[in-house]
Amino acid sequence: MTSERKVRTNRANARASTGPKTARGRANSARNALRHGLSQPVYSDPAWSEEVKALAQEIAGPDANTEITELARRVAEAQIELRRVRSARNEFLSHTLSNPYFDSKAAAREKARVIGRILAGKEPDVSMEFLTAYLASTPQGPEKFATILLEAKQLQAMERYERRALSRRKFAIRALDEARRFAV
């Protein structure tokens, strides 16, 4: 059993941590949902909304009752959500793989450090040819793909969204099946 004092402290802490306080923090936070738009519900986009409607109709079939129609809408919503996440992931991968300047974070940091030393007049003890080749080098082929998979935070976020959409769809389909079983 949580003590009264602990409850009070928890409540006080919760009130103290209510998101970003500064204008900069709030501005950053406000942009979170716009990075890939996946946290926005599908209904916020008219195009996706239409897709949900069409798919729900196909799932429900003709002469569906109100309950089936509603459950079919839930399945359609989760399916479109899933499609949206997967499209975003594919687009992100295509875009990043075709970016010739993509570099790993560690390599980019190291190169910035080398450039800093050059600007400070402390050139590394290597030939200019080698130095230029090093600074212009970026990962290619499987190395590049693996680096993207390892480092891109967006991909990890998309993985979470995909998991949620799959879970939502699974339970929505189960509910629809159950409703149809009793409707027979």
Partner 1 sequence: MVARLKPRAKAMTSAPARVRRLELFGRPPLLEGEDEDIYNELRDRMYAAVDPADIIEEMFVEDMLYLQWDIVRLRRLKLSLLTESGSEALKSFLSANMNLELYEDIFRENLTQILEKKLPKDQAQELAEQGCRSNEADPKIKQLLSGSGHDLDDIQDAATRERAQELAQAYARREPEAIDQVNEILASAGRTMDNIYASQLTEEIDKIERIERLITVAETRRNVSLRELDRHRAVLAEALRQKIPEIESTEYRVIEPTRTEGRARRDQ
Residues that bind partner 1 (CB under 8 A): 55, 58-59, 75, 79, 83, 86-87, 89-90, 93-94, 97-98, 127, 141-143, 145-147, 149-150, 159, 166, 169-170, 173-174, 176-178, 180-181, 184
Closest CB to partner 1 among 13 and 134? Answer: 134
User: To the nearest whole angstrom, how small is the minimum distance from the Cβ of residue 82 to partner 1?
Assistant: 8
User: To the nearest whole angstrom, how small is the minimum distance from the Cβ of residue 1 to partner 1?
Assistant: 39
Closest CB to partner 1 among 22 and 98? Answer: 98
Is there a contact between 97 and 148 (Cβ–Cβ < 8 Å)? yes
User: To the nearest whole angstrom, how small is the minimum distance from the Cβ of residue 93 to partner 1?
Assistant: 6
User: To the nearest whole angstrom, how small is the minimum distance from the Cβ of residue 95 to partner 1?
Assistant: 10
Rounded CA gap, 161 and 156, in Å?
9
Q: How far is CA 146 from CA 96, 97, 104, 141, 164, in A?
A: 12, 10, 10, 9, 25
Q: How many CB atoms lie under 10 A from the CB of residue 153?
A: 8
**Crossing angle between the packed helical segments 128-136 and 105-119, to the nearest 10 degrees:** 140
User: To the nearest whole angstrom, how small is the minimum distance from the Cβ of residue 90 to partner 1?
Assistant: 5
Closest CB to partner 1 among 28 and 99? Answer: 99
